[in-house]
Amino acid sequence: MRARKESSTTRILQLLLLLFLSDSYKSHCHCHPFHSAEGNAARTEGSISPDTSPGVEPEPFLPLLASSPLMPFRNYSSVPTLSGQCRLNFSSTQTAMSKTATDCYSFLAPFLDNAICCPQFLATLIILIGQSSKYSGLLALDETQAMTCLSDVENTLQSQGTDTDLGNFCSIHPANLTEGSCPITHVNEFESIVDSARLLAACRKIDPVSECCEHVCENAILDAARKIALKGSSASDGRRDLEKLSTRIADCKNIVLRWLAGKLDPSSTNGVLRALISCDINKVCPLDLPQVTGVSKECGDHVISNNTSCCISMGFYMSSLQDLSLLTNLQAVNCAISLGKKLQKANVTQNVYNLCHIKLMDFTLQEYSGCLLPSLPSDATYDNSSGLGITCDLSDNVEAPWPFNSSSPSASSCHESTKIPALPSTTSAQDGMDFNLL
C-alpha cells in the first residue's frame, strides 16, 4: 500500500510500551521465550532448507501476541461516536469490519499495515459501498458523504481498538470513496455498458494462487474499467492525453470493484477482494531502501579485501530494514532483488548475500523472529485464551536471491525458475508452533 515512513524510534517506543503493559500477563501464561536458545533451535529445526522443493507446502508456525490485562482486546470495545449522516449500510459489513478490527489492532497495525491491515481496511470500504449500492443504485459517494462515512467507519473501528487514524495510516482518504475521474457512478448505467455476465463469471470465485499468474478476474475488471472510462470520450481524446486516460481507468477500476462487491455472495466477497489486492502488493517491495554508500565503500569492486568489514557494513544496512514492517515471502524476494540491483549500480557486483549469509527472513521485522507472512491473503487471529496471533511461512530460512543481471525478473510464482520461495498453497497452523512474542 505504501512504504513505511515512521521512524525506527517510534516503532521501538511502541514495542517498549507493549512490553511494559504485558509484564503482568507474562506471569500467568505459559510462554515460549522469544529470544531463548531453545526457541531459536526449535525454529531452526522447523525451517525449510534451501534445497527443499518449492512444491512442498511449508509448515507454518503461529506466533501469538497475548493481550495484556490492561488492554483486553475484545473488552476494549466502546460505543463509537457517529455522525448519523452517513447513508451507507454498516450492517452489511459486520464480518469485514470485525476482520479489520483484528488486523488493524493499534499495537500491531504499524507492523502489519502493508500485507494485512491496509488491504483488509480497503476491502471493507469497497464492500461497504458495493453492498449499499443495492439500495442506493450508486457506486460512489459525493465528497460530503465520503468524508462523513470514512470518519464513521474509522470511529467504529477505533472503538474496537484499531489505530486512531486508520485512513491516513493506510493512505486512504475521502476522495478514495468518490468516483474520482470515472464518468460512471450509477449501477444501471454501468450494467448497460459492461458485460456483467462475463465479469461475474471471471470473478465470482477465484483461486488466489493462479489469479496472480493468469489474471483472469483482473483482466475482466480492467476491460470493464476501460469501457466505462471511455464513456463520453473519443479515441482521439485518449491518444492526446494518455496520462489522463490512465488515471480515469484506475478510478473506474474502483467502480468495478464496488459493483462486484454488491453482486458477489457476501460470504466470498472479502476473500475475492483480498486475493486481488494481494496479487498487487506481492509485485513490489514496500520498503524504502536507504542509500548503499556505506556498503559500496566496504564491498565494492576493487575495494573489497576484507570480507569481515564488508559483512559488518552489510549487517548494519540490513538492521535498518528490520524494524519496519512484516513482509510476505514474495515481497521479501522483491526487496532482495531491488536491493541487489541497487548495490550492483553502486559497483558491488559480488554476491554479498551469499558472502554474508543474508536470508529472506532478514528483510522482515525481526521483533517477530524474522517472520515472513504467506503470500496468500492472511489475517491476524484472536483467541480468548491466547490473544492475537499471526501465521508465518517457514520457507524463509533460505538465501536471498542475488540478481545476476539488470533484467532479472521480479518475484513471481509464475516463473518456473523461481524457487525461493514458491507461492505456498493454503497454509494452516494446526501443526504450527505456538510461542508468546513477549
Tens digits of per-residue pLDDT, 131-174? 999 999 999 999 999 999 999 999 999 988 887 788 998 999 99
* Cα(248)–Cα(179) distance, integer angstroms: 10
Pick from 202, 198, 195, 201: nearest CA to 216: 202
| DSSP for residue 116 | I
Look at phi and psi of residue 215 and say left if phi exceeds 0, alpha if psi is from -120 to 50, else beta. left
- Which triple of cell numbers denotes residue 28? 500467568
Asked whether the predicted pLDDT for residue 6 surpasses 50, the reply is no
| DSSP for residue 88 | S
Asked whether the predicted pLDDT for residue 72 surpasses 50, the reply is no
Instruction: Report helix, strand or coil for 191.
Output: helix
- Which triple of cell numbers denotes residue 356? 554474508
What is the model's pLDDT at position 120?
95
Query: Which band of pLDDT confidence, cut at 50, 70 and 90, is reported for residue 428?
Result: very low
What is the model's pLDDT at position 59?
38
pTM value is 0.78
CA dihedral 265, 269, 94, 371 (to 10 degrees): 150
Asked whether the predicted pLDDT for residue 417 surpasses 70, the reply is no
Task: Of 4-8, 96-100, 117-121, 263-267, give the lowest mean pLDDT range.
Answer: 4-8
